[in-house]
């Protein structure tokens, strides 16, 4: 098991400062991080999405590259291995529209 460092997003719809659970969670895992009172903290991403890749704690290695090292069978190994999902913790200050990101695979 390895600790990962997640991506913090600051979209305008996020809760500001210490009102944001996202900001408090991120701060708990990053000693040098300071919560800014008027800054919106909206999402904490945990995964391999290219727009917000998690990295191994204390390293610059992306989680996707780490996962690719252990691809089984070895013959199918790629440079990066992306998870089929992204886990997000959100801190929302007002109503958002529904977002749906369907898979490319069609189920019948």
Delimit the domains of the chain by residue range.
Answer: 4-90
Higher pLDDT, 70 or 25: 25
Q: What is the pLDDT of residues 25-57, one digit of tens each?
A: 999 988 899 999 999 999 999 999 999 999 999
How does strand 40-41 pair with strand 87-90? unpaired
User: Could you give the CA distance from residue 34 to residue 11 in angstroms, rounded to a whole number?
Assistant: 17
Q: Which of 87, 48, 88 is nearest to 71 (CA)?
A: 48
The pTM (predicted TM-score) of the whole model is 0.79
């Amino acid at each position: 098991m390895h600790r990962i460092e997640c991506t913090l997003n600051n979209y305008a719809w996020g809760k500001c400062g210490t009102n944001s659970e996202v900001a408090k969670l991120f701060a708990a895992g990053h000693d040098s991080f300071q919560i800014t009172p008027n800054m919106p903290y909206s999402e904490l991403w945990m995964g391999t999405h290219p727009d917000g890749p998690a990295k191994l704690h204390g390293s610059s290695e992306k989680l996707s590259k780490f996962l690719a090292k252990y691809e089984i069978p070895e013959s199918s190994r790629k440079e990066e291995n992306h998870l089929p999902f992204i886990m997000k913790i959100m801190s929302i200050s007002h109503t958002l529209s529904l977002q749906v990101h369907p898979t490319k695979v069609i189920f019948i």
